[in-house]
Amino acid sequence: MGHRLADTSTPARLAAPDEGIGHDELALATRNHGLPLEALRYDVTPPGLHYVLTHYDIPYVPEDTPWPLTVAGRVRRPLRLDPAGLRAFPAVTTRVTLECAGNGRALLTPRPVSQPWLVEAVGTAEWTGVPLRLLLAEAGVEADAVDVVFTGADHGVERGVEQDYQRALPVDVATGTEPEVLVAYAMNGAPLPPQHGWPLRLVVPGWYGMAHVKWLREVTVVDAPFTGFQQTVAYRLRQESGEEGEPLTRIVPRALLVPPGFPDFMSRARVVRPGTVALEGRAWSGRAPVTRVEVSTDAGRGWHEAALEPDDGRRWAWRRWHYPWTAAPGEHELMARATDEQGHTQPLRQPWNRGGFANNLVQRVPVLCLEHDGPGAAD
């Protein structure tokens, strides 16, 4: 009897009804982390608060490690760029809101067993790098090119398949300007942190996180559709496991609110005192600009228009919104929902898919408003 990868890897599965989060899901949740929702207050997420998801280990890349980026395959002039060669191209800085395709997964019933996000797998950063289209123009993409494949240095096994993490973009997306894809070497003005792809990563504004290949080593232009694991097995919208499924691409609209007041440590329930409570949050969509945010303070019975702040020309970043709420003693449920220019909005009941992807169920924040406004309210 051999010892094979299949021994350590199991097929995708759904949790049984009432099955709590398992040790495997917890091991992912203690490594990866979301944005603490109070950090929605920052325009740009401070280091360490931006969500992180890595499939395998974070590669250990000491500062002086040679890291040639290759651009090869169906190109006329293959490139091999060291850091100085890359920095010789014009640099662009873009503020981007990045969300994990699996955000909201742990709220689904049945729950797909994977990284168990609630609603917090999001963050906004300023990414600096070279537009991919400039690198591809320099290399000279052949006329028969179909996909551009991105290979990271992160290595692992998933459902029995040993792999370096790889994803592809269609050539027209890779060379496009809406969004302009970046090969990024800085985050918020500093070198990339290890967990965000040091020394190089892809940034595909408006797309879910799985497209933004970290620890990027190779860009390979191919003349047939890419069929790697992360493209055709994982990250597909499916109802049944045998289906081909739809690929995941751009982020669907979502609004999140900063939970007001203060929390209970264990239940995370929110407590406010009577009076005006300045509700605020952020909204984003990778599909089309957000044009509207509505707030409900009574569990969705009534909806009120929130004030949406200008985007200041930052199409790919979240927008701040605010709404003043007059809280009265009692229990309340706050909600917020975004609508984009194409009329896409957020559901009150989440349609289900087997991978738990592209969820944008309206957030619900239960709030207890105390009777009194003094510190004696705890008595």
Query: Could you say which residues in the range 113-142 bind a second copy, by CB under 8 A?
Result: 113-114, 116-118, 120
Token pair, residue 372, equals 């009194």
* Min CB(249)–a second copy separation in Å: 22
Please check whether residue 97 is in contact with residue 234, taking contact to mean a CB–CB distance below 8 angstroms.
no
Helix (H) or strand (E) holding 84: helix 83-87
Place of tokens 């709420």: 325
Helix (H) or strand (E) holding 172: helix 171-174
Nearer to a second copy, 264 or 298 (CB): 264
Q: Which of 2, 337, 45 is nearest to 188 (CA)?
A: 45
Half-sphere exposure of 25 (CA within 13 A, CB side): 19
Does residue 331 interact with a second copy by CB under 8 A?
Answer: yes
Which residues in the 310-329 window bind a second copy by CB under 8 A?
329
Does residue 195 interact with a second copy by CB under 8 A?
Answer: yes
* Binding-site member from 75, 86, 100, 106 for a second copy (CB under 8 A): 106
Which residues in the 1-20 window bind a second copy by CB under 8 A?
2-10, 19-20
Does residue 22 interact with a second copy by CB under 8 A?
Answer: yes
* Min CB(123)–a second copy separation in Å: 11
Which residues in the 225-254 window bind a second copy by CB under 8 A?
none
Please check whether residue 215 is in contact with residue 154, taking contact to mean a CB–CB distance below 8 angstroms.
yes
249-288 mask for a second copy (x: CB under 8 A)? Answer: ----------x--xxxxxxxx-x-----------------
End-to-end alpha carbon distance in the chain? 66
Does residue 110 interact with a second copy by CB under 8 A?
Answer: no
* Min CB(47)–a second copy separation in Å: 5
Nearer to a second copy, 142 or 264 (CB): 264
The answer to whether the bond into 199 is cis (omega within 30° of 0) is yes
Q: What is the DSSP letter of 106?
A: G
Place of tokens 């020394």: 199
Which residues in the 155-194 window bind a second copy by CB under 8 A?
155-162, 193-194
* Min CB(142)–a second copy separation in Å: 28
Nearer to a second copy, 5 or 137 (CB): 5
- Largest Cα–Cα distance of the chain, in whole Å? 76
Instruction: Quote the Cα angle for 141-205-343, to 5°.
Output: 120
Does residue 371 interact with a second copy by CB under 8 A?
Answer: yes
